[in-house]
Amino acid sequence: MIPSPPHAPLHNILLLSCMDLRLLDEIVAFMDLIGMTNRYDHVILAGAALGASYDGLPHWGQTFWDHIDIARDLHDIREVYILEHRQCGAYRKLLGLSFGDHDETEALAHAEVVSRLKSQIQVRHPDLGVRAFLMDLFGGVTELAI
């Protein structure tokens, strides 16, 4: 869990998160907690990293890449934060995966998808850093090792 603010970057970032209506306030609270209030552009796609990288929905991926480009031009972002969450309906709908409470295979599935997107980001934008997080349904967040 991330109980207190880690060292916040001194630059703007782009946040990619899921559209899940259960966590909208928790996402903003997390970003405030880590010192990013009003310092991030927010892209929302069902499944977060899955939505941005799923081969069956290439137009979603293109939307993500277009947003990175415009965020770089307008706000000089230097990092991409990917915020996944537990019990994601997009993982169930698109991949046929469902998980129970605190299922460690769920964290591994998210880490695998996020790692793939991180690699794609680094190919297109090698100067952008990437961090990833997994939020539970109560707003608790852990950083994913990717």
Task: Provide CB contacts within 8 A for 81, sequence distance 6+.
Answer: 13, 14, 15, 16, 40, 130, 131, 132, 133
Classify strands 129-135 and 141-144 as parallel, antiparallel or unpaired. Answer: antiparallel
Neighbours of 132 (CB within 10 A): 24
pLDDT for position 131:
97
Enter the DSSP assignment of 11.
S
Which residue ranges form the domains of the chain, and what is each CATH number?
A: 13-144 (3.40.1050.10)
pLDDT for position 10:
73
pLDDT for position 125:
98
pLDDT for position 104:
75
Q: How far is CA 5 from the centre of its chain?
A: 18
pLDDT for position 91:
86
pLDDT for position 115:
98
Task: Give average pLDDT by consecutive 10-residue segment, the chain, 146 residues.
Answer: 57 96 96 94 97 95 98 97 92 76 78 97 98 95 92
What token pair was written down for 103?
Answer: 């299922």
Whole-angstrom distance, CA of residue 35 vs CA of residue 69 = 24
